Amino acid sequence: MENKVKEKIISILKEKGELTFEELSQYMNIDKFVLRKIIADMVRGSILLKVPNFEKGKFVYKLA
């Protein structure tokens, strides 16, 4: 299941560019706690980058 979630996250970010956690969670149909864990694993694995977006005043995730 986790691999399918990771694939979906990658697909969404390829299409959208960069999204906040809340924006990304709207596309996903899983518990937010689980999604945070998967995203954190992807950041540690250098699949995603977590960068500040000063216009939104939040961190966004994008593909590394």
pLDDT tens sequence across 33-63: 999 999 999 999 999 999 999 999 999 999 9
Domain containing residue 49: 2-63
Give the domain CATH number at 38.
Answer: 1.10.10
The total domain count for the chain is 1
pLDDT at residue 1 greater than cutoff 80: no
Separation of alpha carbons 53 and 62, rounded Å: 11
Q: Give pLDDT tens digits for 13-27.
A: 999 999 999 999 999
Query: Residue 20 is which amino acid?
Result: T
How many CB atoms are located within 10 Å of the residue 60 CB?
Answer: 21
List Cβ neighbours of 38 (8 Å cut-off, separation of 6 or more): 2, 5, 6, 9
